[in-house]
Amino acid sequence: MQAMSLSQPGPIASAPLRLVDLSTPHPGPGQVRIRVNVCGVCHTDLHTVEGDLDLPLLPLIPGHQVVGRVDEVGDATSSPVRVGDRVGVPWLHSACRSCDFCSRGTENLCADARFTGLHAHGGYAQYMIAEAPFVLPLPDGLSDLQAAPLLCAGIIGFRSLRLADVAPGERVGLFGFGASAHLALQVARHWRCEVFVFTRAEAHRRHAEELGADWVGGAEDAAPALLDRAVIFAPAGSVVPLALAKVRPGGTVAINAIHMSPIPELPYRLLYGERTLRSVANATYSDGEEFLRVAAAANVRATVSTYSLEEANRALDDLKHSRINGEAVLTIG
């Protein structure tokens, strides 16, 4: 099979991913093999390829927004997944399923959680192996290209809105406007929220307005009203005090980032007034199930730019330099 493999992290401008020919893998017990059709390109992939994250596995095949069909099932699997099923593979590859976190339904916090495209090879390849209990069934009415961005950008954006305590009808701020935020905006609008978008790129501002944002500006700009809730999608710690300053007393700021630059020292008055600042760490399997239902009800539509498997480096470079509205998706199958 062909795959884009990372042997040594480096700046994306140096094209650290290389097209390689590998033996097609076979699933073990409890696993399935997936023939990959498409794979979304995520900011976490960029952090992986450039070495911002500790990499437990090298060489590594990135990619964790995978859509494909099961073509082989390992022995003794108790999963309902069968050969021929169309499934999605999200960021969460597996968890122990027995610790206190897993028992509470927060397997995203499991100390033994493993993640697709980080601890296990991902979907920048023609085939991949997944743990059967963690793949998501996909509704028939959702195309492959539309499904891929939902599997990380959509799910984590949805969890971020929930952890920001967003209630229907509230005023919500989205800081940064890429793959995840453009889907979260649609969910917030479905909940009848007023949405302010804070982003630098002019193309992203136009995109936010096209999707129904009520106000668009920069993080440094004065917004027309205080926010009830905010989600930070930009991996820039300098945005945290700017977001807190725009949230009312009793409001919440959730940080949707697996990697972020340092948060600067901030005056206590920005947090005072019972404001909450919290991180969002990955997502659970039930987040995926629930979000796919909400996405269908809200008719969430991803804005997609397609690239071939061999163009993965270019897709990541375009992502890094904000040349993409919505999400890049690799077409493989």
Percent of the chain with pLDDT over 70: 99
Q: Which domains does the chain have, with CATH numbers?
A: 2-138+303-331 (3.90.180.10), 154-280 (3.40.50.720)
Cα 164 from Cα 185, distance rounded (Å): 14
76, pLDDT greater than 70: no
At 35, is the pLDDT very low, low, confident or very high (cuts 50, 70, 90)? very high
194, pLDDT greater than 80: yes
Paired tokens of 153: 């950008």
Mean pLDDT of 142-156: 94
- At 233-252, the pLDDT tens digits run 999 999 999 999 999 999 99
Predicted pLDDT of residue 250 = 98
Cα 223 from Cα 242, distance rounded (Å): 11
At 200, is the pLDDT very low, low, confident or very high (cuts 50, 70, 90)? very high
Predicted pLDDT of residue 292 = 92
Predicted pLDDT of residue 195 = 98
Amino acid at 272: Y
Q: Which residue has the tokens 């239902």?
A: 293
Long-range contacts of 78-85 (CB under 8 A, 24+ apart): 78/30, 78/132, 79/30, 79/32, 79/132, 79/133, 79/135, 81/32, 81/132, 81/135, 81/137, 85/137
Mean pLDDT of 178-184: 92
- At 251-297, the pLDDT tens digits run 999 999 888 899 999 999 999 999 999 999 989 999 999 999 999 98
What is the residue-averaged pLDDT of the chain? 95
325, pLDDT greater than 90: no
Mean pLDDT of 192-220: 96
Q: What is the pTM of this model?
A: 0.90
At 78, is the pLDDT very low, low, confident or very high (cuts 50, 70, 90)? low
79, pLDDT greater than 70: no
Cα 309 from Cα 26, distance rounded (Å): 21
Q: Counting beta carbons within 10 angstroms of the beta carbon of residue 157, is it exposed (0 to 12), middle (13 to 18) or buried (19 or more)? A: buried
Q: Are 173 and 247 in contact (CB under 8 A)?
A: yes
- Per-state percent for the chain, helix, strand, coil, to nearest 5: 30, 30, 45
